[in-house]
Amino acid sequence: MELQDLQLIARRERERRRRIRIHCCTSSGCLASQGLEIQKRIEAAVSAAGLDGEIEVVGVGCIGSCGQGPMVEVAPEGILYEYVRPEDADAIVAAVSGGECNLQRGDPQSQFFTRQFPIVRKNAGKIDPERIEEYIAAGGYRSLYRAINEMSPSEVIDEITQSGLRGRGGAGYPTGLKWSTVAKSRGDRKYVVCNGDEGDPGAFMDRSILESDPHLVLEGMCIAAYAVGADQGYIYVRGEYPFAIQRLQKAINQAKKLGLLGSQIFDSTFDFRVDIRVGAGAFVCGEETALLASIEGRRGQPRPRPPYPAESGLWGKPTLINNVETFANIASIIEHGPDWYASIGTETSKGTKVFALTGKIRHTGLIEVPMGISVREIVHQLGGGGASGSEVKAVQTGGPSGGCIPASLFDTSVDYESLAQVGSIMGSGGMVVMDDSTNMVELAKFYMEFCKDESCGKCVPCRVGTVQIHHLLAKLTSGNGSQTDLDQLRELCQLLRNTSLCGLGQSAPNPVMSTLKYFPEEYMSLIER
Ligand SMILES: Cc1cc2nc3c(=O)[nH]c(=O)nc-3n(C[C@H](O)[C@H](O)[C@H](O)COP(=O)(O)O)c2cc1C
Ligand code: SF4
């Protein structure tokens, strides 16, 4: 495979394309609402109308506004149909040929779409994730070619460092620094691991990226492997994501067939193979040391660090572990340069972030926004405010490790430091909106119940503490709590935060602490009652 071969594939793909493309969303959400049947019925309607030569029907990844699915888009006009049913197929095809159509339309000019800044989601909803030719026609694998043929490994690491990219898995660790640590670590073998465990309740960013554009993640992993000197990669995906796994496997097979994975990639001396490992849905297996133990076939439990995986990871070898979204940023950084990437976002948080916007809000779905946007803009401009006009009370970011941001602090900038300052975290990108009907103590109890169930039990503070805190919250919400219980709740939260072995126990108190801070009256009213 040479650059000319990539260009040839791209040219043939463009020549093959029909003038009009009907994009049917085939991500999990829309598939669960008859997405595949809708695609088949539209294909049949196109054939019946004798329009096969003019229109092609394409199954694409997530279009974004998942709450309004199943979605169908007619390109290039950009007409969006929402809540589509299989029986709407004839009407959609008739409308493409100029007929009347009364189906509910989405507004591509609404702020939900126009305020977004797609880098990671640049191809989502536009290409067929099951055809490598479409990814190549969209410019795919050129960054890998450039990295291998025009850059040294250390130049690649320098570009990633200069871009300011930070890990999107939660902690926000500088990606370039992690890559250079792995590159410098000694080992006869090195590994690259992609963390696709995504266990936060309500989060589906990584699933959507894997389902919509699996080659983007593979290309990022491949560039990383070249930079750190690894020859084997693993993608760890939770078993609850069957479509993501299927599409990834298909993508790996296609890339292997074209010589973009395997031996002597782009006729160089660089070899890189990728295999999928399927997790069993334990939240703690997203923690990096537990994940590595799980890949090795051992029980998925965290271990103390150091040593960090960058020095001693899989089978004791230096291992680079990054999140799905982190890898999905890499090809664009190599393509457009680190200065371009660093020009997006804030001083310390560069680029964009994908959020799963859910809860009591008008427009739910996946959004990709530049860092530095305010919580208010996300809630009121992209999200359109409270569902059915209700008053938005707070936003919870960061899943069970995160905190609640009250409406009075909605001018907070969405970046790592500002979110931490108000007692929350960026996390992996869950964003749940709450209105007046949400009881904040119940919410804290919900997240604590999750942490209690997901605690691996290895260390006492988390194993016992999550049960005790959950018990106290249940006592409060049942109206049997006292001031002593509240005091004990605070004390236990501090204890858990300071003494747990891994991030699960250390951050489990966050939803309780932040609701205690911003909504004390809701706790007090339960005691007074
Ligand atoms: C309990 C727990 C669960 C985690 N789950 C995930 C996860 O699902 N996906 C992920 O990428 N990182 C998760 N992390 C963070 C990882 O340990 C690790 O920091 C991350 O994969 C590193 O990649 P990044 O630098 O690209 O963010 C979790 C951490 C903890 C403590
Ligand atoms: S903090 Fe919780 S999840 Fe983490 S090692 Fe301890 S018991 Fe396991």
- Model confidence over 132-155: pLDDT tens digits? 999 999 999 999 999 999 999 999
Give the model's pLDDT for residue 202. 84
The predicted-structure confidence for 265-302, as pLDDT tens digits, reads as follows: 999 999 999 999 999 989 999 999 999 999 999 999 99
Q: Report pTM.
A: 0.97
Class of residue 506 by CB neighbours under 10 A (exposed 0-12, middle 13-18, buried 19+): middle
The predicted-structure confidence for 72-98, as pLDDT tens digits, reads as follows 999 998 899 999 999 999 999 999 888
Among protein residues, the one with the nearest Cα to ligand 1's atom 2 is 287
Average pLDDT over residues 47-76: 93
Q: Is 321 helix (H, G, I), strand (E, B) or coil?
A: strand
pLDDT at 102: 80
Mean pLDDT of 248-268: 97
Return d(Cα 372, Cα 359) in angstroms, integer. 22
| pLDDT, mean of residues 438-447 | 96
The pLDDT confidence band at residue 65, using thresholds 50, 70 and 90, is confident
Of ligand 1's listed atoms, the one at least distance from the Cα of 172 is 27
Interval 366-386 mean pLDDT: 96
Average pLDDT rounded to a whole number, residues 479-502:
96
Confidence of residue 67 (pLDDT cuts 50, 70, 90): confident
Q: Is the dihedral of CA 401, 406, 409, 412 positive or negative?
A: positive
Q: Measure the CA–CA gap between 354 and 382, rounded to whole angstroms.
A: 13
Residue 98 has what pLDDT? 81
pLDDT band at 60 (very low <50, low <70, confident <90, very high): very high
- Confidence class of residue 529 from pLDDT cuts 50, 70 and 90? low
Q: Which secondary-structure segment (H or E) carries 208?
A: helix 205-212
Ligand 1: which residues within 6 Å by Cβ? Answer: 167-171, 173, 195, 197-199, 283-284, 286-288, 321-323, 326, 428, 502-504
The response to whether residue 459 sits with its C-beta less than 6 Å from ligand 2 reads: yes
Atom 1 of ligand 2, nearest CA residue: 505
Q: Using DSSP bridges, classify how beta strands 403-406 and 392-397 pair: parallel, antiparallel or unpaired.
A: antiparallel
Tell me how far apart the alpha carbons of residues 59 and 79 are, in angstroms, rounded to a whole number. Answer: 16
Averaged pLDDT of the chain: 95
Average pLDDT rounded to a whole number, residues 457-482: 97
My answer on whether omega of the bond before 76 falls inside 30° of 0, hence cis, is yes
**What digits encode the pLDDT tens for the residues 340-355?**
999 999 999 999 999 9
Phi and psi of 319, rounded to 5°?
-135, 130
